[in-house]
């Protein structure tokens, strides 16, 4: 009997992108049940990636550190060298190649890893490094999650028909279970608010989050908790100070990524911008109200049934523009607070009705 296959799978993108890649990773496991599957992902996503049960080993890659300071390339090169030492049979990059610079970096990574079968997106010249090529238009006009699943199929993956999933450390549950038990005491719905975002153009005013928090607290008796990563504490504090009916608890800056996944799994609903926490919440079982501005929800909206999400997006001739900077991002600034609040209450009602029906 020959040695089991070794696959190197690359998802060197955002935390939300890793969550969206989980159906593709499961498909690769189903298609290669005996293989050693090595996942190379953004270092920031490691706390979630390391808990994926269908991956053999996770290799964090310091892509943001390298972009910030090229001196960090040595750490990245060392990771690639260790992957090459595994003598992998297959290397697949699940994510799209978005620029010539990205294609150049990906070519170098594939060459360093040295797999005989190389699967990826034939874009910006990356196709010359591939033995199995997804065409240039592969990621156009369909959801990123679906595109990555199709990429996995090119590498022998077999879909299981389920959506994204997420896992957290047992310690996160032990640490925060009591806090969320108290919030949900008496059957009160727990509503999360996530005012942060990785780009200024994707953020929404604190007043609109506060208005939505007030609506769910006043009309449905919800307990409200505000989330945020390191550096987003001021945005969370602004939501708390502007709320007039809700009394939000702020967890901004207090949670590890694993803690956040558990916490979002304990919420009934997350009100959020287009962000990593949006995808984590959806995968963890929460309903989601999400405000979209410069990006296209057809490509990155939450992957959940229709009765668990509402996308709030205004029509603008310039949108989607995918820009990181804008003098006046009216696509976000002009979203009515009432639309967000109305959608939040509606999803809470749908969730409550489903729970009551299941209990009968």
Q: Are 46 and 38 in contact (CB under 8 A)?
A: no
Residue 100 is part of which domain span? Answer: 6-154
Confidence of residue 330 (pLDDT cuts 50, 70, 90): confident
Where in 12-83 does DSSP place strands (E)? 36-42, 57-61
206: in domain: yes
161: in domain: no
How long is the chain? 360
Phi/psi zone of residue 156: left (φ > 0), alpha (ψ -120 to 50 degrees), beta? left
Phi/psi zone of residue 58: left (φ > 0), alpha (ψ -120 to 50 degrees), beta? beta
Confidence of residue 66 (pLDDT cuts 50, 70, 90): confident
pLDDT at 64 over 80: no
pLDDT tens digits for range 34-49 = 999 999 999 999 999 9
Domain boundary among 122, 154, 186: 154
pLDDT tens digits for range 155-177 = 999 999 999 999 999 999 999 99
Tell whether 66 and 185 lie within a shared domain.
no
Confidence of residue 311 (pLDDT cuts 50, 70, 90): very high
280: in domain: yes
Q: Which residues contact 210 (CB under 8 A, 6 or more apart)?
A: 238, 239, 240, 242, 243, 244, 246
Most distant CA atoms of the chain, gap in Å: 69
Tell whether 175 and 150 lie within a shared domain.
no
Could you give the 3-state DSSP secondary structure of residue 141? coil
Query: What does the pLDDT read at residue 79?
Result: 94
Where in the chain does DSSP place strands (E)? 6-11, 36-42, 57-61, 90-93, 117-121, 132-134, 190-194, 223-226, 249-250, 269-273, 287-291, 309-312
Tell whether 91 and 239 lie within a shared domain.
no
Give the percent of the chain with pLDDT over 90: 81
pLDDT at 315 over 50: yes
Tell whether 181 and 317 lie within a shared domain.
yes
19: in domain: yes
CA distance 209 to 213: 6
Q: Which residues contact 92 (CB under 8 A, 6 or more apart)?
A: 7, 8, 9, 10, 28, 118, 119, 120, 151, 152, 154, 155
325: in domain: yes
The two tokens of residue 199 are: 């780009």
101: in domain: yes
pLDDT at 70 over 80: no
Task: Provide mean pLDDT across the span 289-298.
Answer: 91
Task: Provide mean pLDDT across the span 312-334.
Answer: 85
Phi/psi zone of residue 29: left (φ > 0), alpha (ψ -120 to 50 degrees), beta? alpha
Q: Chain-wide mean pLDDT for the chain?
A: 94
Tell whether 139 and 280 lie within a shared domain.
no
Domain boundary among 154, 180, 196: 154
CATH number of the domain enclosing 262:
3.40.50.2000
Task: Provide mean pLDDT across the span 256-285.
Answer: 97
Rg (CA), the chain: 21
- Classify burial at 118, counting beta carbons within 10 Å of its beta carbon; exposed 0-12, middle 13-18, buried 19 or more: buried
Task: Provide mean pLDDT across the span 67-93.
Answer: 89
Tell whether 29 and 113 lie within a shared domain.
yes
pLDDT tens digits for range 139-156 = 999 999 999 999 999 999
CA distance 87 to 97: 24
Tell whether 147 and 181 lie within a shared domain.
no
40: closest CA among 86, 116, 92, 75? 92
Could you give the 3-state DSSP secondary structure of residue 127? helix
CA distance 342 to 289: 10
96: closest CA among 148, 56, 141, 24? 148
159: in domain: no
Confidence of residue 1 (pLDDT cuts 50, 70, 90): very low
Number of domains in the chain: 2
Could you give the 3-state DSSP secondary structure of residue 18? helix
140: in domain: yes
Tell whether 189 and 148 lie within a shared domain.
no
Q: What are phi and psi of 74, to 5 degrees?
A: -60, -40
pTM: 0.95
Centroid of chain to Cα 217: 27
Tell whether 140 and 69 lie within a shared domain.
yes
Query: What does the pLDDT read at residue 2?
Result: 55
Q: Are 228 and 234 in contact (CB under 8 A)?
A: no
Q: What are phi and psi of 232, to 5 degrees?
A: -100, 10
* Selected residue with higher pLDDT from 43 and 324: 43
Domain boundary among 123, 154, 185: 154
Task: Provide mean pLDDT across the span 197-212.
Answer: 86
Query: What does the pLDDT read at residue 3?
Result: 66
pLDDT tens digits for range 6-40 = 999 999 999 999 999 999 999 999 999 999 999 99
């Amino acid at each position: 009997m020959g040695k089991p296959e070794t696959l190197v799978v690359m998802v060197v993108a955002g935390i939300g992108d890793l969550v969206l890649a989980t159906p593709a990773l499961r498909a690769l496991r189903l298609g290669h049940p005996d293989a050693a599957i090595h996942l190379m992902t953004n270092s920031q996503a490691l706390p979630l990636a390391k808990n994926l049960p269908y991956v053999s080993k996770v290799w964090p890659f310091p892509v943001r550190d390298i972009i910030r300071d090229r001196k960090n390339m040595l750490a990245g090169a060392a990771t690639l060298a260790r992957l090459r030492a595994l003598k992998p049979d297959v290397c697949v990059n699940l994510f799209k190649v978005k620029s010539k610079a990205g294609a150049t970096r990906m070519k170098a990574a594939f060459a360093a890893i040295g797999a005989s079968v190389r699967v990826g997106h034939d874009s910006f010249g990356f196709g010359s490094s591939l033995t199995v090529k997804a065409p240039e238009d592969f990621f156009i006009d369909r959801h990123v999650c679906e595109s990555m699943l199709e990429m996995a199929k090119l590498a022998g993956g077999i879909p299981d028909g389920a959506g994204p999933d997420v896992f957290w450390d047992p310690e996160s549950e032990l640490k925060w279970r009591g806090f969320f038990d108290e919030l949900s005491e008496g059957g009160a719905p727990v509503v999360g608010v996530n005012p942060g975002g990785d780009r200024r153009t994707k953020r929404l005013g604190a007043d609109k989050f506060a208005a939505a928090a007030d609506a769910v607290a006043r009309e449905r008796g919800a307990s409200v908790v505000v989330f945020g990563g390191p550096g987003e504490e001021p945005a969370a504090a602004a939501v708390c100070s502007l709320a007039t009916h809700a009394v939000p608890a702020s967890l901004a800056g207090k949670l590890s990524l694993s803690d956040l996944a558990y916490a979002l799994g304990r919420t009934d609903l997350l009100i959020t911008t287009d962000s990593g926490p949006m995808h984590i919440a959806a995968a963890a079982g929460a309903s989601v109200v999400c405000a979209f501005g410069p990006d296209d929800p057809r490509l990155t909206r939450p992957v959940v049934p229709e009765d668990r999400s509402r996308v709030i997006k205004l029509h603008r001739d310039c949108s989607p523009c995918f820009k990181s900077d804008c003098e006046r991002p009216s696509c976000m600034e002009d979203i009515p607070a009432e639309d967000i609040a109305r959608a939040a209450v509606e999803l809470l009602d749908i969730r409550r009705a489903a729970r009551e029906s299941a209990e009968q």
